[in-house]
Amino acid sequence: MKQRELNREVAKATGETVATIDQLGFVPLEAIPYERDRDPLAARGERLVQIAPTASNSG
């Protein structure tokens, strides 16, 4: 599903405008979530640590 299609479907389901949905940044669910705004975090013990970008998670 393309981003435009997703935005239209979410807008239709929620009653919001497509522009509002676009600003909120909905993305399709994936098996492993993708962080668009920052490098991914991982839990080690009881603290979160930054994961260095690799070819598989650099986007």
CA distance 1 to 28: 8
Q: Cα 10 from chain centroid?
A: 14
Judge residue 11's burial from the number of C-beta atoms within 10 Å of its C-beta, 0-12 exposed, 13-18 middle, 19 or more buried. Answer: middle
- Count of all residues that appear for the chain in the document: 59
Check residue 29 and give its pLDDT.
77
Count of Cβ atoms closer than 10 Å to residue 8 Cβ = 14
- Please give the average pLDDT of every successive group of 10 residues along the chain, which has 59 residues: 91 94 85 64 58 56
Look up the pTM and report it.
0.49
What confidence score (pLDDT) does residue 25 get? 87
